[in-house]
Amino acid sequence: MKEKLWGGRFKSFTDKNVDEFNASIGFDKRLWREDIEGSLGYCRALGKAGIISEDKVEVISDALKEIYREIEKGDFSFDEGMEDIHTHIEKALIDKVGDIGETIHTGRSRNDQVALDTRLFLRASIIEIDRVAREFQLSLVEVAEKHLDWIIPGYTHLQRAQPVLLSHHLLAYYEMLKRDRQRYEEVLQRTNILPLGSAALAGTTFGLDREFLSRELKMDGITSNSMDAVSDRDFVAEFIFTSALLMMHLSRLCEELILWSTEEFNFIEISDSFATGSSIMPQKKNPDIPELIRGKTGRIYGNLISVLTMMKGIPLTYNKDMQEDKEPIFDTVDTVKNSLGIFTLLLKEIQFKRNNLYGAVEKGYLVATDLADYLVRKGMTFRKAHYVVGDIILAAQKKGVEFNDMNLNEMKSFSALIEDDIYEAIKPFSCINNRNIPGGTGIEMVKAALNKAREDLKL
Ligand code: ARG
């Protein structure tokens, strides 16, 4: 059955249901660029090894480039009977140049070929994701700079805890994204390694200069074990894991924006162009975009579990199960890129409500720790100070007032150490600027963090 690449030992045609079920072309056609790029490099390496003469290398290269242009223009037809992208490109090559084209697969298997294509695809995707992640960070930095000295409540357990700068809060996400980008960089190092030369599983019998081919394809080295090279997809799993973490970070910020835009918090307003309405309730303005990003995080977790589960029981080496990695990979790349892209735009469409943010800091004894620290500076131990401030809070709550509303005599009744400098010490701004410690919310520290971020983002 010669119409299949592997048809030599078959006596009958493949059942069309099998063709349909087996085919990956419906989704792996997306690897066409990488497949051609890989074959271009591979034929040069075959030329260098003396397996294909240099003039035939030229003929094959020209034909591959022509196929590239045809696909780019949409002048190429994909057909389920031809299984996958590798088969399509090889067939198209043979259609163009006949016997010469039949030499391209010498010493190569689709097993090492698909590993290469996947690695090249992820390389390009990681570079692209890194670019959009950087844009997102830049947007965070810009919003932080614009609101440098705005004060908001910092929370633990979703209870108001201590005053912090809005810029400090936003830069927390900058840091998360910075680590996400570092993780992608590390994944890229392990991904950008050449598997070709491994052939089906045991290595090719043709003397291929793998280091040369690795350089041709701008890769950072060659795989060290042919069986590992064709059968592991750990680089796929770690790419999706890194993406899952990044999405988790985005999702947390989304959750905050959703909360902050409620009537209950009333900290922000998302511009009309980035919100949607309800078909029945005329008063509604819904934060659909952050909700969707939060929701899509689940898809990426699902993709990670799909790939890990798909891999866990397959014996060495290649097994067709591994074809199931493609859709999770493509979905992850698209979801992460789109989420970062829309989030970058959304950030610029958020209006923070300064008075409401500050109002929330003024109520609920957020400066209680600072009152205790004040007593410590006057000579009390911290544990005693904690109790004293606890007593003050109980009294204030009973009267329904804040610390500021209590006069000095009332204050002094809890500790003689309290003097009239107390009111300055518990102003939210003082509390913030008392935290001029590296990593803290003091304004000088946040300015330094912003400068550092700007510097890092220049790269
Ligand atoms: N479509 C296959 C995949 O994605 C390509 C490799 C097929 N190899 C094989 N021996 N059938 O994994």
Residues whose CB falls within 8 Å of the CB of residue 77, separated by 6 or more in sequence, listed in order? none
DSSP 204: -
110 C-beta closer than 6 A to ligand 1: yes
Q: Which candidate, 36, 11, 25, 23, places its Cα nearest to that of 104?
A: 36
| 310 CA from centroid of ligand 1 (Å) | 15
**Is it the case that residue 169 has pLDDT exceeding 60?**
yes
**Is it the case that residue 116 has pLDDT exceeding 80?**
yes
| 320 CA from centroid of ligand 1 (Å) | 6
Q: What is the pLDDT of residues 206-242, one digit of tens each?
A: 999 999 999 999 999 999 999 999 999 999 999 999 9
Q: What is the pLDDT of residues 184-213, one digit of tens each?
A: 999 999 999 999 999 999 999 999 999 999
174 C-beta closer than 6 A to ligand 1: no
Active-site choice (77, 157, 224, 279): 157
Best of 80, 110, 119 for a ligand 1 pocket test (most atoms within 8 Å of beta carbon): 110
What is the bridge-based pairing of β-strands 151-156 and 350-352? unpaired
- Known active-site residue 278: yes
Q: What share of the chain has pLDDT > 90, as a percent?
A: 91
Least confident of 2-11, 55-64, 120-129, 265-274: 2-11
**Is it the case that residue 81 has pLDDT exceeding 90?**
no
Sign of CA dihedral 228, 230, 232, 233: positive
Sign of CA dihedral 329, 333, 334, 339: positive
Let me know: does 321 contact 113? Beta carbons within 8 Å: no
Least confident of 2-11, 27-36, 74-83: 2-11
All domains of the chain, ordered by start, with CATH?
Answer: 7-106 (1.10.275.10), 111-203+224-358 (1.20.200.10), 363-456 (1.10.40.30)
Helices (H), ranges, 281-325:
288-312
Per-residue confidence (pLDDT) for residue 117, from 0 to 100: 98
Q: What is the pLDDT of residues 380-416, one digit of tens each?
A: 999 999 999 999 999 999 999 999 999 999 999 999 9
**Segment 307-315 mean pLDDT:** 98
**Is it the case that residue 11 has pLDDT exceeding 80?**
no
| Token pair in block for residue 56 | 């035939």
**Is it the case that residue 13 has pLDDT exceeding 90?**
no
Nearest ligand 1 atom to the CA of 24 is 1
435 C-beta closer than 6 A to ligand 1: no
Q: What share of the chain has pLDDT > 70, as a percent?
A: 99
Average pLDDT, the chain: 95
Per-residue confidence (pLDDT) for residue 459, from 0 to 100: 55
**Is it the case that residue 1 has pLDDT exceeding 60?**
no
